[in-house]
Amino acid sequence: MLIHIRHWVIGPPLPTRELEGQSLSKLRALAAFSPDALSSIAYANQEIYLALVLAGSAGLNLTLPVGLAITSLLVLVAISYLQTVHAYPSGGGSYAVTRANLGELPGLLAAAALLIDYLLTAAVSLTAAVAAIASAFPVLWPYRVTVALLFLFIITIANLRGAKESGTVMAVPVYLFIGSYLGMLGYGLIRLLFMPGETPPIAPPQAVAPLTTALILRAFAAGCTALTGVEAISNGVPAFVPPKSRNAAQTLLAMALLMGLLFAGSIALTQAFSVVSGPEETILSALARRIVGSGVVHWFIQIATMLILAVAANTSFAGFPRLAAVLAEDGFVPQQFRQLGDRLVYANAIVALSLAAALLIVAFGGDTHALIPLFAVGVFMAFTLSQTGMVLHWWHERGANWWLKAVLNGMGAAATAVTLVVVGMSKFREGAWITILLIPLMVIAFRGIRRHYAAVRAQLAVTDGAMPSTTNARPRVVIPVSGAHRSALEAVAYARSISDDVTAVYVEIEPDSADRVRKAWQLICPEVPLVAVPSPYRSLLGPLFAYLDELDRCCDDSQLATVILPEVVPARWWQAVLHNHASLAIRRALVYRRRTLGFQRTIIEVPYHLDR
């Protein structure tokens, strides 16, 4: 039943040979990898406005210069990652570049920063989506956490269905957003140039803080969240149809061009029209209202903004699982993250990302502004490490025009390093300290996981080909039973086929129940002795293990008693909740129990399937 539900929700399993068929064309890849980068104008513009509005009109007059500085930084980062796409077509992005050129520790720092970035991208995008639609429909403000979690659930299911289907689903909101915003910006430019009298200026709010260098740097740092998502395409080159590097590079160029146009255009019109937003409205909603009015078109633009922000989380669902798979391949995260699911996607990583994003949304009350300070530190740390690694890459490769490529990457590294310092300092008290603390803790965890896997490989390795020592003695068998019934008899039948020394054990949890069980056992299986073990504290495992240990010490025959567990299997899946699964508890406890007397205990389960 559960399998049928899963297949209905995410689709039936796909054969591995169809993996190449899940590759993305440029149009689908733009929809899958670019929503975060394109939609970041929503919360980046909002954060710039919230920082500069504190200084009144003097602060708001710097909106365009701050926006142009961020756009210039975007150009540098895009050019840098364009070279990464060609140099590292196997994907991995900042992690692969940094580890290959700077070493393991810097590579793990980049990986930790990227994983945090992907997680925050999902949470911030979804909360910003709710803010966008609530600006048009204020009745939704009290329910922003619930709505954000609903969006998260939909995107998770879409990604679990497969890369091709998620790219198709995301295409509509992405191209709807691009069309609506390019149309709005174009119409706004026409009004500004040819109908200036129709847009009288609005009085700016009163200044509540002086215009200082620190305030300007804070606005710049907050606006730099517009650069999130640029890394995604370089990290996902293997997802493209061949020729992968060329298609990825062309998609990256298109994304950067659209991103710069939308960001700089919206910033310019916001300042040109002297747009000011209210307490329950985003700055982009106020800009749209200023240009097209408060009617249906405004609603349409806000719905498009909501949709692109909702699917912007898809950038995380495209990038996080692929990076986790690369890290798992290198042994730094659990191996479950490298396993492809039924639909040829990294389902375990998708589910892990979804649960972590839901936790963040709930913990921060669905407030985008509260999440933003955690955001940009990881992004620019990854940018800086990656571009520094690319400089060394070109230095060692020394191909055609290597010096020019090294200079471009060096400029990108320098610019993002300065930005990292600015962001870290200006946002430290507001929450950036959390990210700064988490990154080294994650690196410690990565190395601890790898040490564990190395220890496992060392202990499992067969160096001399010698078989483990064996004993000629027939096994002693102990069967824990809960009563005299058919499942116990099935276990006894199997036990007697491998041993002549078989004992049934009944743990007397209910007082005075041992005599009743012993009499019933004599009627159905007199050949096998039944030992009743008292349990004064109503424990099952403690008295059973004490009996097993005492029996092994008394026999002293270079082996531990084999435990055979009768297991009743219900006819229907829902009936499982009606049983206490004592045999499962015994098996788990025995499996994780260390060797006793220098030997390992064998555990066997004998199922008995019910008909109804």
Residue-level pLDDT at 383: 85
Among 329, 355, 316, smallest CA distance to 159 is for: 316
Rounded average pLDDT over 205-232: 81
Q: What is the CATH number of the domain that holds 88?
A: 1.20.1740.10
Among 30, 483, 46, 2, smallest CA distance to 263 is for: 46
341, 385: one domain: yes
Among 507, 500, 132, 521, smallest CA distance to 307 is for: 132
Among 172, 177, 228, 171, smallest CA distance to 24 is for: 171
C-beta atoms surrounding 142 within 10 Å: 9
C-beta atoms surrounding 316 within 10 Å: 31
302, 415: one domain: yes
22, 152: one domain: yes
Q: What is the CATH number of the domain that holds 592?
A: 3.40.50
Average of per-residue pLDDT values in the chain: 83
- What pLDDT band is residue 130 in, cutting at 50, 70 and 90? confident
393, 502: one domain: no
Structural domain span for residue 123: 2-449
Rounded to whole angstroms, what are the CA distances from 265 to 187, 272, 436? Answer: 12, 10, 33
Rounded average pLDDT over 240-269: 89
User: Could you report the per-residue pLDDT of 502-554, keeping only the tens digit for each?
Assistant: 999 999 988 888 889 999 999 989 999 999 999 888 888 889 999 998 898 88
> How does strand 562-569 pair with strand 476-480?
parallel
Residue 112 has pLDDT above 90, yes or no: yes
User: Could you report the per-residue pLDDT of 582-592, keeping only the tens digit for each?
Assistant: 888 888 888 88
368, 480: one domain: no
Higher pLDDT, 3 or 440: 440
Residue-level pLDDT at 471: 61
Residue at 460 is within a domain: no
Residue at 362 is within a domain: yes
Residue with token string 């803080």:
209
Residue 611 has pLDDT above 90, yes or no: no
- What pLDDT band is residue 119 in, cutting at 50, 70 and 90? very high
Residue-level pLDDT at 13: 55
Residue at 342 is within a domain: yes
Helices first, then strands: H and E counts in the chain:
23, 5
Residue 134 has pLDDT above 70, yes or no: yes
Total of domains in the chain = 2
169, 210: one domain: yes
Higher pLDDT, 139 or 479: 479
169, 224: one domain: yes
Residue 138 has pLDDT above 70, yes or no: yes
Most confident of 9-18, 27-36, 330-339: 330-339
Residue at 462 is within a domain: no
With beta carbons less than 8 A apart as the criterion, state whether 267 and 129 touch: no
Rounded average pLDDT over 406-419: 86
376, 480: one domain: no
Structure tokens belonging to residue 464: 């001399």
Cα 419 to Cα 425: distance, rounded to the nearest angstrom: 10
E-strand stretches of 327-437: none
204, 326: one domain: yes
pTM attached to this predicted model: 0.76
Residue at 8 is within a domain: yes
Cα 472 to Cα 474: distance, rounded to the nearest angstrom: 6
375, 511: one domain: no
Residue-level pLDDT at 328: 92
- What pLDDT band is residue 77 in, cutting at 50, 70 and 90? confident
Rounded average pLDDT over 80-99: 79
Among 279, 308, 313, 310, smallest CA distance to 135 is for: 279
443, 493: one domain: no
Rounded average pLDDT over 493-499: 92
Residue at 208 is within a domain: yes
E-strand stretches of 63-152: none
Residue 596 has pLDDT above 80, yes or no: no
Residue-level pLDDT at 170: 66
Rounded average pLDDT over 139-166: 81
- What pLDDT band is residue 149 in, cutting at 50, 70 and 90? very high
Residue-level pLDDT at 507: 92
Task: Using DSSP, state whether 530 is helix, strand or coil.
Answer: strand
- What pLDDT band is residue 478 in, cutting at 50, 70 and 90? very high
423, 555: one domain: no
- What pLDDT band is residue 463 in, cutting at 50, 70 and 90? confident
Residue at 424 is within a domain: yes
Dmax over CA atoms of the chain, in Å, equals 104
Query: Which region among 72-76, 111-115, 121-125, 575-579 has the lowest average model confidence (pLDDT)?
Result: 575-579
Residue at 470 is within a domain: no
Residue-level pLDDT at 201: 59
Structure tokens belonging to residue 300: 């349409």
Task: Using DSSP, state whether 532 is helix, strand or coil.
Answer: strand
Residue 315 has pLDDT above 80, yes or no: no
User: Could you report the per-residue pLDDT of 358-406, keeping only the tens digit for each?
Assistant: 999 999 888 887 887 887 788 888 888 988 998 998 888 887 788 888 8
Residue with token string 């985008």:
368
